[in-house]
Amino acid sequence: MGLPRYVAARVVWAAVVSLVIVTITFGLMAAAPNPAVQEAATQAALEGGDPEEAVERERELRGLDEPLHVRYADFLRGVYTLNWGWSDLQNRPVSEALSEALFYTAQYSVPWTVLTLLIGPLIGVYSAANMYSWRDHLATGVAFFGYAIPNFFFGIILLLLFGVYLEWIPVVYNTDVAVFSLENARQLAIPVFVLVTGSIGAIMRVSRNESAEFRNADFMKTAKAKGVSPLRAYAYHVMRPTMVPLSTTVVGQLLAIFLGSSLLVEVVFGIPGLGRLTFDALIAQDTNLVLGTTLLFTFVAVVGNLIEDIVFTVLDPRISYDDR
């Protein structure tokens, strides 16, 4: 199997996975009573009307009285044509609410990802080059600290310290400031810092352990013998083979943190991004919006895994496509 066929197979597979997840989501929604229907019944009972009738009306209104397969087909069409319905909470289409939230999420996600990918492998390789020195121990300590401290807890503590006591950063997130301004950098510094410390540890550890393997490899001895400077030797001969195994874990880990922590960090810092939107939708029982955010995160995860697999095979020519 050649590369194009492999990529095609992976893309098809990613589509299948997304379909499975969408189907499970639909199954979950279909099997449970719809909160909106229940609300209509309660409303009718409170106003002295007939709850049964109200339930019927609400079901008809939402198309729930149709047979399951028709609803499933409708659901699939809606999901894949990005027609994700109307959000009662935000009073606008779900896709519009999502794209606006994405704008705020991207403002801290992009610097966070870039910083993690830049600093993580660098410190990891540096750590391996100075293995068992105090610098290595310091880096290991920082890695473990960042990995172990719960992001939301760390966020609260830093907010308390810098926002409330020292008053260096604003406590409330301000959406009015321009994206590329000092104000915005100041209010996003702590969230980005918290996320970077949380995600950098794992990457640092992997790159440290991986590059430790190449440190005493024959090609490094050759490089040293012919007088290559240590910096160049590490940059060209250690960094490159280290990136291959690293790339398999990086995307998965970043995604896991993105899904979990963005929610927490946005709630703690009051950033009106995707995580916050999910949270608000859950609290307000806005079914369409909950579905929309869930599906968006799911698609990001599926596409992320797809890219990871493809990048992995492109980076490492030794991998045979039949293997997977």
Q: Please, which of residues 124-153 interact with another protein by CB under 8 A?
A: 144-145, 147-150, 152-153
For residue 262, the tally of other CB atoms under 10 A from its CB is: 24
Q: Which residues contact 88 (CB under 8 A, 6 or more apart)?
A: 284, 286, 288, 289
DSSP element (H, E) containing 104: helix 94-129
Contact string 183-222 vs another protein (x = CB under 8 A): --------------------------x--xx--x------
Q: Tell me how many residues contact another protein (CB under 8 A).
A: 43
- Contact flag: residue 248 with another protein (CB under 8 A): no
Q: How far is the CB of 44 from another protein (least distance, A)?
A: 22
Instruction: Answer for the pair 265, 275: CB distance below 8 angstroms, yes or no.
Output: yes
**Cβ-count burial 208-235 (b if 16+ within 10 Å, e if not):** bebbbebeeeeebeebeeeebeeeebbe
Kindly tell me which residue out of 7, 156, 244, 307 binds another protein, with binding defined by CB under 8 A.
156
Phi first, then psi: what are they for 286, rounded to 5°? -95, 95
DSSP 243-262: HHHHHHHHHHHHHHHHHHHH
- Contact flag: residue 25 with another protein (CB under 8 A): yes
- Contact flag: residue 117 with another protein (CB under 8 A): no
**95 or 298: CB nearest another protein:** 298
Instruction: Answer for the pair 93, 85: CB distance below 8 angstroms, yes or no.
Output: yes
**95 or 285: CB nearest another protein:** 285
| Site stretch for another protein (CB under 8 A), options 14-22, 42-50, 119-127, 225-233 | 14-22
Kindly tell me which residue out of 38, 130, 253, 294 binds another protein, with binding defined by CB under 8 A.
294
Instruction: Answer for the pair 63, 74: CB distance below 8 angstroms, yes or no.
Output: yes
Taken in order 227, 228, 229, 230, the sign of the CA dihedral is: negative
| Site stretch for another protein (CB under 8 A), options 57-65, 112-120, 177-185, 260-268 | 260-268
Which positions lie near another protein, rule CB under 8 A?
13, 17, 20-21, 24-25, 28-29, 31-32, 144-145, 147-150, 152-153, 156-157, 160, 164, 209, 212-213, 216, 259-260, 263-264, 267, 278-279, 282, 285, 290, 293-294, 297-298, 301-302, 305
